A and B are shown apart, each in its own frame.
Chain A
């Protein structure tokens, strides 16, 4: 019942489940203030969508969520467009490499494996770091101490690099190389994993670039729109893996779920939310790891041979 045929994935999925998946990820991303790509793509993979299609479609879906997010941030003047542009330039370069890397891996039949492995490593490390940090913060709050934030403004090795640019909105005068490299890594991850990359970009902007925290979320959301859009177009063009019907289902669910998530998130303290998110991220990592380690019930697989392979 309510089965809907996906024209590119060439499978039939349950309409309610896919809308629910979009809504659940939208809810979580609204609640925790994250893009949700690193949850959506693994969820799609776990629900039977081939990994390369999950990646491309996930990237397209993030375009929708980050457009709403960036508009809200833009109205509050929280976007550093100059920094965003530099990050986009790096991001597009990384995206090009990621898309072709994925194409090669797909032809070798290893795309699903490498995507899963990268997710396990990335989610495992980030989940563990986040859990550690948030549990400490919760402990500090219980002990009655104020949570300390690092003070920006100190000089570090980044200030010795050439190609300095002025970023008036961020009140920074720093080399363009670090934001280019950060953008490049994020673009690579977007193309390869179908994530927005905010979870890497935001800490990097705060701790490496020392950007003011109020422009960090807006600027990263602004960068994510363009890089995920480029990734979606590149995957559609070179890998034929973007399923627009699936993307629309997820977007429809996501827009609604996001609104309820924002409200739910307001009931918790920041460190409690981070601890919950950390547990969720670790759970996804462990679930993906199980699939890699446990003996599969079916050892053999058949896939269509792609043209040119």
Chain B
């Protein structure tokens, strides 16, 4: 259902994307392979019992348009990312014997969550330039920072990546995409408890001889649900009412404690 809807869109995307236009020029203008994909779930709701979740991105390759499918090597790369966030990175420095946060570096567009999964190591699949152009791989994400050169900048950038990897908010898995037979593939991603909310996109790239021959994308909505959602929305959209309610609850808890335990 989903795939049949997205195929016309996909065709339009193929024509419109400059990357593909360049690739098409380099290749014979014949029919080609198509990749279709989907995610095991459309929506993830974060409730009080949420401790993380594993999602499955799966798809298949349609070889009917390929000239010689048996002779080529195909690779699939899956990129799952959440909306960007602005973050500040700081380094602690020793001042008068205590450790103090130094001046911060701002990164305006860091994906809250970013996972790249591939059927082989990325460098074996295609060139660094192509990866950079497509923004595939942890080292190729654009954090939106104007100044990029300098040893200090590079240390900070790789530290941001390392810290995000420690929190499992950045993931890179060389063998994350597994083929089942020749046409079906699957990739599972573990979303940790700290996943940011928002609309996630899963981009699936089909590579042949280091070139993207087909691309597909699907989306996933991660949101807080139930009471957590109500609390979160209220705290950020009606903070005054939220604060007053929290105080009323505290007063009620105090009254209850007094009523239950008073000894007179």
Contact = CB atoms under 8 A, between A and B. Distances in A.
Main secondary structure, interface of A, reads helix
Interface stretch (B90-98, B123-131, B214-222): B90-98
Interface string B80-103: 000001111111101001111100
A153 to B, nearest CB: 33
Contact of A242 (B159, B163, B224, B246): B246
Given A63-B247, A301-B101, A12 B87 contact: no
Given A64-B253, A240-B239, A252-B253, A300 B258 contact: no
Contacts of B48: 4-5, 245
A11 interface: yes
Interface in B235-251: 235-236, 239-240, 242-247, 249-251
A12 B253 contact: no
Interface stretch (A36-44, A121-129, A166-174, A288-296): A288-296
Q: How large is the interface on A (under 10, 10 to 19, 20 to 34, 35 or more residues)?
A: 35 or more
Given A64-B251, A68-B257, A244 B194 contact: no
A294 B94 CA distance: 10
A258 interface: yes
B250 A64 contact: yes
A303 B242 contact: no
A66 B243 contact: no
Nearest to A2: B49
Given A64-B251, A244-B249, A302-B87, A234 B243 contact: yes
A299 interface: yes
B174 to A, nearest CB: 25
Interface in A1-57: 3-5, 7-8, 10-12
A75 interface: yes
Interface in A196-251: 225, 229, 232-238, 240, 242, 244-245, 247-248, 251
A301 B156 CA distance: 10
A196 to B, nearest CB: 13
Interface string A59-71: 0110111111001
A113 interface: yes
- Chain A CB within 10 Å — which of B46, B235, B245, B256 has the most? B235
Contacts of B250: 60-61, 63-64, 67, 229, 232, 247, 251
B54 interface: no
Contacts of A293: 97-99
Given A109-B101, A255-B261, A302-B163, A244 B242 contact: yes
Given A225-B251, A301-B101, 8 more contacts: A3-B49, A5-B193, A11-B193, A68-B254, A110-B101, A237-B243, A244-B245, A305-B106
26 contacts: A5-B50, A12-B50, A63-B254, A64-B251, A66-B254, A75-B264, A109-B88, A229-B247, A229-B250, A236-B242, A236-B243, A236-B246, A237-B239, A238-B239, A240-B239, A242-B235, A244-B235, A247-B250, A248-B253, A251-B249, A251-B250, A258-B257, A258-B261, A294-B99, A303-B87, A305-B108
